[in-house]
Amino acid sequence: MNNNHTKPVDDMSDVHLGHPIELIDKAVVLSHGNFVRLDDMLFEQLGLGPRYAQVLTNDYRLHRNLSYAFLDMPGTPGTPGTPYDLITELDNPQDLGSFEDLIADRDILKRLTATFINRCNHYPTHQQLALALIRARTENVQACDELGVFRQVKWALSYERRAHWVSTHHQLAFCKEKIDWQALGL
């Protein structure tokens, strides 16, 4: 049955790559591989603060690029892998630069890397290190501040897991006023 109020199921003219054309029109293009800060009401509501992510920029229908926010997390049985969210002007994106830009301060880089190794018994991923560097810059943590560096490493590890959970469980997260991170093992 086709009402005048609804479009037929096969008419997807205003939906592109799973996004309404209104969102495609508001999409912003950022440098591929850079890190970005986004305003995200859900992240704020759940106590994570702003959303930090890496940027993936792809060609859209051979005439326009679109940028997506993601944190690179492997999927496990029963858990989805990396979700990609379209970045629009509504997200108020702030380009934080490339990984190379973030590691310009070699003293804090060395200190964070050593702290990751001491805490986790392995080298940090670029993403973990980038998150810690972004937060250290925001908090104005210096390499000589041992406790401050430790807090950034702890925050980056926790943020990465929690942000991934929120990104892969949008609907559930949105329905909850508060998340018991401890109960989720996060």
The stretch 8-15 carries a mean pLDDT of 38
Please give the model's pTM, rounded to 2 decimal places: 0.83
pLDDT for the residue numbered 24:
85
Is 50 exceeded by the pLDDT of residue 10?
A: no
pLDDT for the residue numbered 113:
96
The stretch 46-52 carries a mean pLDDT of 93
Kindly state the DSSP code that residue 72 receives in the 8-state scheme. -
Q: What is the pLDDT of residues 141-167, one digit of tens each?
A: 999 999 999 999 999 999 999 998 998
Is 80 exceeded by the pLDDT of residue 38?
A: yes
pLDDT for the residue numbered 4:
37
Confidence band, pLDDT 50/70/90 cuts, at residue 62 = low
d(CA 135, CA 156): 8
Selected residue with higher pLDDT from 17 and 148: 148
Count of beta carbons in the 10 Å neighbourhood of residue 168: 16
The tokens for 77 are 């049985």
Encoded amino acid at 182, one letter: Q
Residues with Cβ within 8 Å of residue 1, at least 6 apart in sequence: none
Selected residue with higher pLDDT from 62 and 9: 62
Residues with Cβ within 8 Å of residue 24, at least 6 apart in sequence: 16, 17, 60, 66, 86
d(CA 23, CA 20): 6
pLDDT for the residue numbered 13:
40
Q: What is the pLDDT of residues 63-110, one digit of tens each?
A: 688 999 998 886 655 656 678 889 999 999 999 999 999 999 999 999
163: nearest Cα among 43, 82, 38, 36: 43
Residue 17: phi and psi, rounded to 5, are 50, 35
The tokens for 82 are 């990396």
Q: From edge to edge, which strands make up the β-sheet containing 64-70?
A: 85-86, 64-70, 51-60, 35-38, 94-97
Q: How far is CA 61 from the centre of its chain?
A: 25
Is 80 exceeded by the pLDDT of residue 7?
A: no
Confidence band, pLDDT 50/70/90 cuts, at residue 54 = very high
The stretch 96-125 carries a mean pLDDT of 94
d(CA 115, CA 126): 14
pLDDT for the residue numbered 72:
85
Residue located via tokens 């810059």: 137
Encoded amino acid at 8, one letter: P
> At 121, is the secondary structure helix, strand, or coil?
coil
Encoded amino acid at 24, one letter: I
pLDDT for the residue numbered 106:
95
